[in-house]
Structure 1
Amino acid sequence: MNTSEFGMKAWGVATVVLAIAALGVVLLGSAYLDLEGEFLKDTPRWIAGLYTSIKQNGNVVAGILGFSGLAWSNFYKASTSIKEA
């Protein structure tokens, strides 16, 4: 495995891990919401803080993850086309 392949795989894994972590925070935080959308009294502060920050900056988080996925796909395509040539 050369450096290009390693970088491609590491980038892809990092993007997937960050996307799953962001989804996990949203799911975990939403488990502590009542019907009016307020946090329950026993909600840990770190969950409430992460959930609120991702909720308020959701477009930025989605944009970064989407751009990373798009850039990774271009990197993958370029890497495999060089290998085939």
Structure 2
Amino acid sequence: MNQVEAIQVGQRYKVQPRYFHRPFIGKVKNVSGSNIVFEVENYEFVDQKKIEASRLINVDVTDVKHPMNNSYFFS
């Protein structure tokens, strides 16, 4: 299974587009070929001007770092 097939709509992932300073956490809204639309949930202040009001970002599959499973703990 390649990386695109492994990405599931509705799942959360850590994403680092090359034009962002820091990664963001987002939920997959749509997968079309190697392009993926994410709804941004958490992001760093330094990248706030790159996030539009809709909070939807179109990224390439290579920008997706890893899924955010329930086993992660943030304090």
TM-score (norm 2): 0.26
Rg larger in structure: 1
Higher relative contact order, structure no. (Cα contacts within 8 Å, ≥ 6 residues apart): 1
The structure with the largest strand share of the pair is 2
TM-score (norm 1): 0.24
The structure with the largest helix share of the pair is 1
